[in-house]
Amino acid sequence: MNQLPFVFPLQEPLLIFMVLIGLILFSPFFFRIFKIPDVASFIIVGVLIGPYSFNILSNDSSIELLGTVGLLYIMFIAGLELNPERLKTSMKNSILFGFSTFIFPFILGYIISSYVLHLELYATLLVSIMFSTHTLVAYPIVRKLGVTKDISVLTAVGGTIITDTMVLMILSILTQDFQSDTISFQVLKLMFFFFVYIFFIFYSFPRIARWFFKYIKRDRPVHFLFLLFMLCFSSFLAEIIGLEAIIGAFVAGLALNKSIPKNSLLMHHVDFVGNVLFIPVFLIGIGMLINTQILISGTYLWFVSGVLVISAFAGKWIAAFISQKILKFNNIQRNLLFGLTSSHAAATIAIILIGFEKHMIDETIFNATILIILISSLTATFITERFGKKLAVTIDTSIDENFQSRILVPISNPSTMKNLVEIANSFQSIHSSQPVYVLNILNDNKSSRENILNIREVLESNISEFNNLKENLKVITRVDLNISSGILMAAKEYLVSDIVFGWVEKTTATQRVFGNIFDHLINGSQTLFAVKIQGGLEDIRKTVINIPFNLEHESSFASIISRINNLPVSKDVEIEYRCTNEESLKSIKALQPRRHKQHFNYLLLENNMPENYRLLSNLHTLNVMFILRSQSIAYSAKHNIITKKIIESNNSNNYIIIVPGYGQI
């Protein structure tokens, strides 16, 4: 019998790289079945393949290199994503909360570490600042719920900048090799060089970036490499003056914050490379360091983990509670503040890894900290979603008069685009200066200039049939290997708020596993209108809209109702709203125009169960149904399941499936 061409742990570079890419590719698909976040999934697979479990990979220099870059990348992105302008709007609140969420967890961590766990001084201080730091893991939830402008969210974001800066400064002091008789001098020296370093980075980096982006503008990959170089250069300078490299990465991100638009393709490249390679490899490397044998060696680890987890949550809750009393927040805002700041991830990983490598903490504390990261990330997500929804129902969802919607219509078959373009054009306000963007994506080998021009000519010839609509349309052609990603990229580039597209009934076996275009677009933030109309819009005589429970609290609610009322149907059409509660009914009536060509009916269902919905099966009726994103205010798993079953069992009907967006862009 021939021996295998490899032994464990793997030594062949190609096999190591293949295993890493395979884990990064497939592990999120598997762990999402159990609702485990991607961050936690990478750590778990790292534990499984590491030297203390199945010993598939060893934590060698290649993984260490990618992991180091991943750690710096996490801190760099954290700096890029923080919005200094938001800090200015709530400066006093942010300063107060920033100090509170640093001091109280630090004091509690010091007491627990010193008097309960009996750790040495450096280990005690390291665990204490670990309690103080936090990562806004749950921030995407409040963004989707449309509550980012609430004062509690602004306070949490501003407080993060302050507390993380203080934590990283103390970390640099703790990791210095001071001699006992020169500690004061060394600290003063470090502080002096730190302020000189900060001044240099914040003065020079934005100016260099502006010059580079202005004159080197032909090659986007070069822009990304420039950012990567600036990240490494800032981290290297930080190490030269005695700071940790992660501080340099964080400062570089803050310095370049205003130089990179948040919706730019360059920012997309930054996110893409980090999320695809550097950050996953870093998290896998963290998992490989966890000694699973300790987990079954006795009860001490579980005791330490329990104490640290409870203390970590308690410290952040105390900070949120005291800040609430001083800042006059209500209970919902306090709990949202706690939820946003109770997760320990990026900076915590950095701190504990540095402490472990410098032998300031042992394996027990290291493993217990990893459990804190896993538990706190999951708990923070749950708390933020629960109280974010409660806060969202109090937000005014009326349309901002200054809001300019942008509508995208992806076209796969130019000959069937008439209904889609007419609907999209009716959605666009007559006072809007924005065109309707008509998108065609080439995803095969026919990507030559001649073919692109031919398709554009076909599109424009169809557009010309719409007479006065011609000037309101802008044709876009994209070449992409994946239609869904091409649509989302175009939507991001043009700041699109709504996407109107045709519904595809046929689902292949591959689509059942990996999803169809609708399943991919639902991961975006835009309001979606999936349209299936058998004939022409002029044949519609009745429109039935089935409103789910709590839809009136969605940030895009007013915009959606306005668009439904403006559907380009015949003048004598009857519009029937079927609501599940009185509040929805009142909100819809308040949004109806006083003078309108259609006749409105309102039907209040007996309860809010979606099985009360019934599609009307005839070519003269248009049924409007809703599917809701999992983190939306009105989300109900039962509603989505029943709605999908109703649609699948009525393929012969006319319908529009609406997915509410995250609000006004």
8-state DSSP, 93: H
Domain ranges of the chain: 13-392, 396-532, 537-650
Residue 459: per-residue pLDDT:
59
DSSP 342-387: S---HHHHHHHHHHHHTTSS-HHHHHHHHHHHHHHHHHHHHHHHHH
Tokens for 374?
């896993």
Residue 618 confidence (pLDDT): 67
Query: What pLDDT does 513 receive?
Result: 40
pLDDT (mean) for 105-118: 91
Which pLDDT does position 177 carry in this prediction?
A: 58
Rounded mean pLDDT, 447-475: 59
Q: How far apart are CA 229 and CA 487, in angstroms?
A: 31
Position with higher pLDDT, 349 vs 589: 589
| The pLDDT of residue 512 is above 50 | no
Give the mean pLDDT of 186-191: 75
Q: Which of 45-54, 521-530, 601-610 is least confident?
A: 601-610
> Strand 436-442 and strand 407-410: pairing?
parallel
Say yes or no to pLDDT of 398 above 60. no
The mean per-residue pLDDT over the stretch 24-32 comes to 83
| pLDDT bucket at 314, cuts 50 / 70 / 90 | very high
Mean pLDDT, the chain, rounded, equals 78
> What per-residue confidence (pLDDT) applies to 219?
63
495 and 523 Cβ atoms separated by less than 8 Å: no
* Mean pLDDT on 121-145: 81
Identify the H or E element spanning 51.
Answer: none
Indicate the CATH number for domain 13-392.
Answer: 1.20.1530.20
Q: Quick check: 339 pLDDT over 80? A: yes
Structure confidence at residue 399 (pLDDT): 54
- Among 85-89, 260-264, 288-292, the range scoring the smallest mean pLDDT is 85-89
Across 82-96, 226-240, 508-522, least confident range:
508-522
436-442 and 473-479 strand pairing: parallel
pLDDT tens-digit map of 609-628: 555 555 556 677 888 889 88
Nearest in space to 56 (alpha carbons), one of 21, 28, 25, 19: 19
Looking only at Cα atoms, what is the longest distance across the chain?
90
Question: What pLDDT was estimated at residue 112?
Answer: 92
Query: Residues 576-585: pLDDT tens digits?
Result: 888 888 888 8
Assess whether pLDDT exceeds 80 at residue 209: yes
For residue 604, the surrounding DSSP H or E stretch is strand 599-604
Superfamily of domain 396-532 in CATH is HUPs (3.40.50.620)
Amino acid identity, position 20: L
Provide mean pLDDT across the span 96-117.
91
**pLDDT of 33:** 75
HSE-CB of 648 using CA atoms within 13 angstroms: 8
Amino acid code (one letter) for 486: G
The pLDDT of 374-383, averaged and rounded, is 80
Question: Comparing 13-392 with 396-532, is the CATH topology the same?
Answer: no
Higher pLDDT, 646 or 329: 329
Q: How far, in Å, CA of 463 to CA of 465, rounded?
A: 5
pLDDT at 69 over 80: yes
Report residue 514's pLDDT band, with 50, 70 and 90 as the boundaries: very low
Task: Please give the Cα distance from 475 to 466 (Å, whole number).
Answer: 14
- As to burial, measured by CB atoms within 10 angstroms (0-12 exposed, 13-18 middle, 19+ buried), residue 138 is buried
Amino acid letter for position 229: F
pLDDT at 100: 92
End-to-end CA distance of the chain: 64
What are the CA-CA distances from residue 645 to residues 400, 503, 520, 638 (Å)? 35, 15, 19, 11
Position 218 confidence tier, pLDDT thresholds 50, 70, 90 = low
Assigned token pair, 554:
């969605």
Q: 362 or 229: whose pLDDT is higher?
A: 229
Q: Work out whether the CA dihedral 291, 295, 296, 301 comes out positive or negative.
A: positive
Cα–Cα nearest to 634, from 150, 146, 151: 146
How does residue 171 score in pLDDT terms, banded at 50, 70 and 90?
A: confident
HSE at residue 509, side-chain half, CA atoms within 13 A, is 0
Average confidence (pLDDT) over 81-103: 78
DSSP secondary structure string for all residues of 417-468: -HHHHHHHHHHS-TT--PPEEEEEEE-SS--SHHHHHHHHHHHHHHHGGGGG
Lowest average pLDDT, out of 17-21, 497-501, 589-593, 655-659, goes to 589-593
Tell me the H-state helices in 279-330: 279-288, 292-295, 300-327
Cβ atoms within 10 A of the Cβ of 442, count?
18
Query: Does residue 183 surpass a pLDDT of 80?
Result: no
For position 510, what pLDDT does the model report?
A: 41
Q: pLDDT category, 511, cuts 50, 70, 90? A: very low
Distance (Å, rounded) from C-alpha 573 to C-alpha 598?
6
For a pLDDT cut of 70, what percent of the chain falls above it?
80
Which H or E run contains 621?
strand 621-626
16 φ/ψ angles, rounded to the nearest 5 degrees: -60, -45
Distance of CA 267 to the CA centre of its chain: 13
Confidence of residue 178 (pLDDT cuts 50, 70, 90): low
pLDDT band at 156 (very low <50, low <70, confident <90, very high): confident
Sign for the CA dihedral angle at 225, 226, 229, 231 comes to negative
User: What is the DSSP code (8-state) at residue 503?
Assistant: P
